[in-house]
Amino acid sequence: MKLELRAVTKHFGSLAANENVDLIVEPGQIHGLLGENGAGKTTLMNVLYGMITPDSGQLLINDEVVDIRDPKDAVTHKIGMVHQHFMLIPVFTVADNIILGSEPVKPWPFIDHRSATERIIALAKEYNFHIDPSATIENLPIGQQQRVEILKALSHDAEILILDEPTAVLTPQEADALMVIMRTLKSQGKSIIFITHKLKEVLEIADVITVMRLGQVVGTTTPAETNEAALATMMVGRDVNLVVEKPPANPGEVVLDVTNLFVQDDRGLTAVKGVSFEVRAGEILAFAGVQGNGQTELVEALTGLRRATAGSVLLNGTELVGRSVRDVLNAGVGHVPEDRQRHGLVLTLSIADNLVLDQLDSPQYKSWSGRKLKAIQENGKKRIAEYDIRAQGEDEPLSALSGGNQQKVVMARELSRELKVLICAQPTRGLDVGSIEFMHRQIVAIRDEGVAVVIVSSELDEVIALGDRVAVLYDGMIQDVVAPTTSREDFGLLMAGSRPAVTGATL
Amino acid sequence: MSLAPEIAAPEIVTLENLRRVTRERALGYGITLIAIGLLEVLWFGAANSALQTTIELGYNSSSAMPPITSAVRVIPLLIGLLLLAPVVSKRARAFVPARIKFTKGVRNFLVIVGGYLIAWPVVLWLGVNSDGALRTMTIPDSATGYVVGIITTVAGGILAWRRLDRSASPLLYTGLMLFMLGFLIWVARGSNVSGLHLQLTGILAASVAAATFLIFGSLSGTLCERSGVVNIAIEGQFMTGAMSSVMVASAMNGTGISLFLGVLVAGVLGALLGWVLAVMSLRYQANQIIVGIVIVAFCTAVTQFITSQVLDVHQNLNGAFPLPVWAIPFFSHIPIVGPILFDQNILVYVAILGVIIVNIALFRTRWGLRVRSVGEKPLAAETVGVSVTRMRYGAVILGGFVAGLGGAAFTIGAGTNFTFGMTNGYGYIALAIMIFGRWRPYGALMASLLFGFTIALSANLNIYLSQLVIPQQFISMLPYIITIAAVAGLVGRIRPPAADGVPFSRE
């Protein structure tokens, strides 16, 4: 099936999410769609899938103009989509998720579960998937859930499959398995639109690559004609340094000493199970691991947001467990939280206010009647210039900034205090290549000033690039602490819970 | 075609973890039961050993009991043994035709029916004489207290010692029911002399009658919340239904057809109020809780206005017309169970049938799968072509209809006229019952019966006031205390529909 988009335009208010976008996907082609966050990739695909109505533009299937108003139309035109955040209902079974919307009914109105199950098993066999139709989604690993999503699209006879950032949540092995699946689908004549911002993957699998920037297509190329650096330049619009420039670490005294830490999650289940590690001044300890293996709870326990059930966290010999968040911050712990919009910032407040959120009781900003407005504004002006925060001014509400600039505000605030330890959770999540570069430079710089840095990230690339040592978390425990030079295969195995013979690299 | 090996990725919710939590809970329950059991021994067992209690097991059925000879009574015993055999022995299961799958439901059915049939001769002897006359049983108080207390303690001991995870609930419920029985016998102590017999069957039948509007209310809540809309307007739908059904029936002089018309009008007005809630919360995306409370305020005002301006003036419009009692042939003569379940008015049957129908509709039909999907993850439903808004409209209007019927149960269901404020906050309690029943129709039924029992109890214990050490007011508080306990999460881990109360918009 051939798919063509002609001059698709979509504006959200004054923002042009898509401006005259053209895209042609040939049958049996894997088409990589590359772009920074906010480049309009997902908007374009939501237009294609009928989730968003475009302001203007045409959609052609097999050279005929079609009208797609809602996802139902997309499904009838054999377009399937695997969303970045899976559209699966966690408490339903695999079978229920796949049949939802097109349930076999016999006798009316009862669902014919038997024929549904038989059909799913047959379909899974056809594409070599191993899936139990009666399993509940929430009990399945992420990679399996993704396969259910793909199967769901295939069960609607999809000829074109849109995969929106499919590898973002996978371990390296799972990502490799996905590549195999994509090739299988291609060999069966299906077209795939593969959205990503990971250059390596798109070069590996795509037949054609289209790059988007600021809502417009900036170019179409093939893997043979291009390379990572060229693609990055196209994406960002300027030359980008993809490699983190990092001189060797110069570790000093042990600053943060964590022993036998146990932490429970919101459901009362133990999420961190006896974690011990130490971080020295002037080094970066990076935590790798698949999301949901205790990272969130670990960071929250280190920063005082969550009470550890056992164990100790010593900062230069002072116990932090059981202390209030205020005490922990004052002791010299900086925190770049995982979800900046929920935990790091107050979106309705101005940039200047956000920059001093944690210092409002210091005499510098506190006056007898409240805040020293002038001092706060001056600080805002200074930081905006210093950290290159793109904003109208220091009084602009934070919600008006892009994700990258919001993260810069968090970083600027944390670094403006006297720090002993900086804890960064997913420091570059959702950021574009340019902002990632900036964040990485800041983190290395603070390390070289002699601060102990802890990074928690689900991006293996980032962990390898930044970490002086890498600890792999699996099921709430440190699987191993290895050198960042360890092979990606070994990292994948560690992240999946097995223990390969990492020779010589173990630290 | 080759495919990568299956990857053992982390299980986020491990069974091991869940099982451990259940076990910990079993220990808690066990200790509680032991405490209750010891209390029973000390409290009930300490009654004057000369006192005896007369329990009325029989019940004046609305139709006479046909005589049954002793010889005939052996037949149900034999049938019961036959039904229980495949449950108990594997060898007997070989004789079951292969067509009948031996599922959990089938097993439970056999246990209940078979067990009851075996107990039948005993129950028949206890309940009704062969000529159909009322039968009583007199038992010693102190000894009963000891027996009940020791059984409860042993049940608690087993729970605590074995830390059972799956079979915990039968033991727990047996213990609690025995405590209730012991309490009732203790309250009615010495009734063989005083003549204030303990009307066990009577109280239970009254419980079912009192539970009727709660069943309707909690069923309505379940329907709405499963679709993701919080229906806090049930109280208003109750009031409207209660008043309108009486007015319709009275206007037509309480003829048979007018009563049914009254019930229907109650339902339709409830549905209309449901439609208002749906329009406000789905179309205009107003806060569901606030809209619901506004609807209740509106209904309160309207019923008050009509009461003072119409009903007080034209009192012939506010008559007491009971719905006819339908004794279901044969079933109504089953000892104890007959008068409780099969000798009630039509609204009671509608309520119980409604629970069964809604359960099947929610969990077996296409409609139900879609309603639940919309309540769990609306965006996922929308992407496969299920209209979230339409499903929610349907569920909320149907829920309104059900709640309206519940309103009719207050007046013509109970055979009384309408008085302002008679719904007494039960609409809100219905929502607590819904939580108690874990958003499941059968759970709602069971929880309603429990609440109905407490209501019947507070009404029936008046005659023992002199015996009751506890002031009667405390007994009247029982339903509300249980409400608080239910909402506070005494019922353990409960998980509401994920999108409950969350408005939905596509973009």
**Per-position pLDDT tens, chain A of length 507:** 899 999 999 988 777 889 999 999 999 999 999 987 778 888 899 999 998 899 999 999 999 999 998 888 999 999 999 988 899 999 999 999 999 998 999 888 999 999 999 999 999 998 888 889 999 998 888 888 999 999 999 999 999 999 988 887 777 788 888 999 999 999 999 999 999 878 888 999 999 999 998 889 999 999 999 988 888 888 888 777 777 888 898 999 999 999 999 999 877 788 999 999 999 999 999 999 887 789 999 999 999 999 999 999 999 999 999 899 999 999 999 999 988 888 889 988 999 999 999 888 888 898 888 888 999 999 999 999 988 888 888 898 888 887 788 999 999 999 999 999 999 999 987 777 778 888 999 999 999 999 999 999 988 889 999 999 999 999 899 999 999 998 888 888 888 887 766 544 445
Structure tokens at B139: 């038992």
Structure tokens at A181: 């699946």
Helices (H), B326-419: 337-341, 346-364, 366-376, 378-383, 388-410
Structure tokens at A114: 């038997």
Instruction: Report how far residue A154's alpha carbon sits from residue A143's, in angstroms, rounded to the nearest whole number.
Output: 17
Residues of chain B contacting A180 with CB distance shorter than 8 Å: 2-4
Other CB atoms closer than 10 Å to residue B486's CB: what's the count? 22
pLDDT tens column, B87-140: 877 787 777 777 777 777 788 888 888 887 777 666 666 545 445 555 677 888
Instruction: Report how far residue A99's alpha carbon sits from residue A151's, in angstroms, rounded to the nearest whole number.
Output: 10
Tell me which of B1, B357, B366, B505 to substitute to probe the interface with A (most A C-beta atoms closer than 10 Å).
B366
Instruction: Report how far residue B349's alpha carbon sits from residue B413's, in angstroms, rounded to the nearest whole number.
Output: 11
A58 bridge partner residues: A6
- Identity at A70, one-letter amino acid code: D
Q: Give the per-residue pLDDT at A259.
A: 94
Give the pairing type, strands A3-12 and A284-288. unpaired
* Torsional sign, CA B241, B246, B248, B249: positive
Do the beta carbons of residue B317 and residue B251 sit within 8 Å? yes
Structure tokens at A147: 């396969």
Q: Give the per-residue pLDDT at B3.
A: 36
Residue in A87, A171, A184 nearest the CB of B9: A171
Instruction: Report how far residue B328's alpha carbon sits from residue B62's, in angstroms, rounded to the nearest whole number.
Output: 10
E strands, A299-397, are 310-315, 318-319, 333-336, 366-367, 370-371
pLDDT tens column, A436-457: 888 999 999 999 999 999 999 9
The distance from CA B232 to its chain's CA centroid, rounded to whole angstroms, is 19
Instruction: Report how far residue B321's alpha carbon sits from residue B251's, in angstroms, rounded to the nearest whole number.
Output: 11
Instruction: Report how far residue A55's alpha carbon sits from residue A12's, in angstroms, rounded to the nearest whole number.
Output: 10
Residue in A105, A177, A267 nearest the CB of B4: A177
Q: Residue A187 burial by CB count (10 A; 0-12/13-18/19+): exposed, middle or buried? A: exposed
Instruction: Report how far residue B291's alpha carbon sits from residue B278's, in angstroms, rounded to the nearest whole number.
Output: 9
Q: Does the bond joining A484 to the residue before it have cis omega, within 30 degrees of 0? A: no
Do the beta carbons of residue A232 and residue A242 sit within 8 Å? yes
Give the pairing type, strands A208-213 and A30-35. parallel
The distance from CA B485 to its chain's CA centroid, rounded to whole angstroms, is 17
CB contact under 8 Å between A72 and B507, yes or no, is no
Instruction: Report how far residue B297's alpha carbon sits from residue B300's, in angstroms, rounded to the nearest whole number.
Output: 5
Residue environment code for A396-418, b if the CB has 16+ CB neighbours within 10 A, otherwise e: bebeebbbbbbbbbbbbbbbbbe
Does B382 reach chain A within 8 Å, measured CB to CB?
A: yes
The structure's pTM equals: 0.80
Do the beta carbons of residue B73 and residue B217 sit within 8 Å? no
- What is the least distance, in Å, from the CA of A394 to any CA of chain B? 30
State the maximum Cα–Cα separation within chain A, in Å, rounded to a whole number.
76
How close are the terminal C-alpha atoms of chain A, in Å? 53
State the maximum Cα–Cα separation within chain B, in Å, rounded to a whole number.
87
Q: Give the per-residue pLDDT at B51.
A: 85
pLDDT tens column, B133-182: 556 778 888 888 899 999 999 988 888 887 765 555 677 777 888 888 88
pLDDT tens column, A279-309: 999 999 999 988 778 999 999 999 999 999 9
Q: Does the bond joining A248 to the residue before it have cis omega, within 30 degrees of 0? A: no
Instruction: Report how far residue A446's alpha carbon sits from residue A452's, in angstroms, rounded to the nearest whole number.
Output: 8
Q: Give the per-residue pLDDT at A503.
A: 47
Q: Give the per-residue pLDDT at B220.
A: 98
Rounded (10°) angle between helices B70-88 and B104-127: 160
B343 bridge partner residues: B327
Q: Give the per-residue pLDDT at B492.
A: 54
Residue in A86, A100, A141 nearest the CB of B373: A100
Instruction: Report how far residue B331's alpha carbon sits from residue A324's, in angstroms, rounded to the nearest whole number.
Output: 65
Residue in A71, A99, A142 nearest the CB of B382: A71
Structure tokens at A48: 């294609």
Do the beta carbons of residue B96 and residue B86 sit within 8 Å? yes
Task: With a cut of 50, list the residues of chain B below it in pLDDT.
Answer: 1-14, 127, 129-130
Do the beta carbons of residue A72 and residue A50 sit within 8 Å? yes
Do the beta carbons of residue B324 and residue B249 sit within 8 Å? no
Q: Give the per-residue pLDDT at B177.
A: 82
pLDDT tens column, B121-132: 666 665 454 455
| Coil/strand/helix, residue A342 | helix
Do the beta carbons of residue A110 and residue B365 sit within 8 Å? yes
Structure tokens at A190: 């299906």
CB pairs under 8 A between A and B: 130
Residue environment code for A330-346, b if the CB has 16+ CB neighbours within 10 A, otherwise e: ebbbbbbbbebeebbbe
- What is the least distance, in Å, from the CA of A315 to any CA of chain B? 31
What is the rounded (10 degree) CA torsion for A380, A386, A389, A392?
A: 50
CB contact under 8 Å between B3 and A103, yes or no, is no
Rounded to 5°, the CA angle B71-B73-B74 comes to 75
Do the beta carbons of residue B205 and residue B455 sit within 8 Å? no
The distance from CA B116 to its chain's CA centroid, rounded to whole angstroms, is 20
Q: What HEC string does B31-59 produce?
A: HHHHHHHHHHHHHCCCCCCCCEEEEECCC
How close are the terminal C-alpha atoms of chain B, in Å? 40
Rounded to 5°, the CA angle A97-B361-B406 comes to 135
CB contact under 8 Å between A71 and B8, yes or no, is no
Q: Give, as one character, the DSSP assignment of residue B333.
A: G
Nearest CA in chain B to A52: B507
Residues of chain B contacting A102 with CB distance shorter than 8 Å: 384-385
CB contact under 8 Å between A173 and B8, yes or no, is no
What is the rounded (10 degree) CA torsion for B485, B490, B491, B496?
A: 80
Instruction: Report how far residue A506's alpha carbon sits from residue B5's, in angstroms, rounded to the nearest whole number.
Output: 27
Structure tokens at B329: 């042939």
CB contact under 8 Å between B376 and A75, yes or no, is no
Question: What are the CA-CA distances from residue B67 to residues A502, B133, B340 (Å)?
Answer: 85, 10, 20
Whose tokens are 């419920």? That residue is: B173
Domains in chain B: boundaries: 21-59+136-194, 74-127, 203-456
Helices (H), A156-238: 172-187, 199-205, 228-236
Q: Give the per-residue pLDDT at B375.
A: 95
Q: Give, as one character, the DSSP assignment of residue A341.
A: I
Residue in B1, B6, B12 nearest the CB of A292: B12
Do the beta carbons of residue A448 and residue A248 sit within 8 Å? no
Q: Give the per-residue pLDDT at B16.
A: 56
The distance from CA B78 to its chain's CA centroid, rounded to whole angstroms, is 32
Whose tokens are 């409860």? That residue is: B152
Q: Give the per-residue pLDDT at B70.
A: 62
Rounded to 5°, the CA angle A370-A372-A377 comes to 130
Q: Give the per-residue pLDDT at B407.
A: 96
Rounded to 5°, the CA angle B385-B389-B392 comes to 110
The distance from CA A491 to its chain's CA centroid, rounded to whole angstroms, is 18
Going by CATH, does the domain composed of B203-456 fall within 1.10.1200?
A: no
